[in-house]
Chain A
């Protein structure tokens, strides 16, 4: 067996700029080695979320170690849940949506992931986050 890969982080915002900016903060603060996927905006590029865009991003960022997902507001969470449901069964279980603020949670999750922690610890770090 090869060494287990690090847990990845996925960011889903209503705003493409927030998604991109959050990912940039994670990379600047935690390092470029952390695997981060992000998306934001509806199908027309406006504010909102799009199930198919989220599904494609999640598919891309998936790793065996799992993926901690950070979302911003209600619709983002609902559409992310739908997008996860659309993934194949073996991948679906690897995603967990964290109950955390998107920026703080993403940085905390990525930091914990960078230390080689498992998905549960990564989720816990995100959910312990404070501003």
Chain B
């Protein structure tokens, strides 16, 4: 089974708030792989497909999100999630 990891700094002006959390969860859920997420290199891993857990992270701007995916589409999942964070969640109006 493929395993992929990646990290991306949160540059989005308000960090991982409600709407970004919703977008991240929706994107993670499109992949078959198990996808986990943590804030910083020593944070606790949480399920990136659980909106309540993602929203509870309340990660602020400047923190780094770490992704770890396990499954056939692990590489694609990590690349997509990093891209979402890099793009500022395609949304900076909130």
A interface residues with partner B (beta carbon < 8 Å)? 29-31, 107-108, 111-112, 114-117, 125, 128-130
Contacts and interface: CB of A to CB of B under 8 A. Distances in A.
B22 interface: yes
B51 interface: yes
Interface residues of B, number: 14
Interface of chain B: mostly helix, strand, loop or mixed:
helix
**Shortest Cβ-Cβ A-B pairs, 10 listed:** A115-B29, A128-B52, A111-B51, A111-B22, A29-B19, A29-B22, A125-B52, A108-B51, A108-B52, A125-B51
B80 interface: no
A94 B89 CA distance: 34
Given A115-B29, A116-B29, A30 B22 contact: yes
Nearest to A105: B52
